[in-house]
Amino acid sequence: MTAAAEDIRAARFPEDSEAALAIFREYVASPSVSLDVLPEFTAARRLYAELGFLDAEPVSFNPIPGTAFLGRDLPYAP
């Protein structure tokens, strides 16, 4: 398992939201994050809401009805 995967696994709970944001900033070379969430992943939707993700335009095709498309800008941290 890569270091990034281990870090992300360690920050998978809502109380680790600051850790999750730090991981996104470290491993994602983009000022924003976009993702899709399947309808049955209600816990993930809650986590993303706590991390500040909002409804967004789809960035890829997902044929599963009820899929949510979310996005957010990442805070800058040098």
- The whole-angstrom separation of Cα 45 and Cα 49 is 6
Question: 52 vs 75, which has greater pLDDT?
Answer: 52
Tens-digit pLDDT profile for residues 13-65 = 556 667 777 776 666 666 788 899 999 999 999 989 988 999 999 988 889 99
Query: Is residue 37 within 8 Å of residue 68, measured between CB atoms?
Result: yes
Class of residue 76 by CB neighbours under 10 A (exposed 0-12, middle 13-18, buried 19+): exposed
Q: What share of the chain is helix, strand, coil (3-state, %, to 5)?
A: 40, 20, 40
Mean pLDDT across 65-75: 90
pLDDT at 78 over 60: no
- C-beta atoms surrounding 53 within 10 Å: 20
Tell me whether residue 78 is in a domain: no
pLDDT at 49: 92
Tell me whether residue 38 is in a domain: yes
* Domains in the chain, number: 1
What is this structure's pTM?
A: 0.60
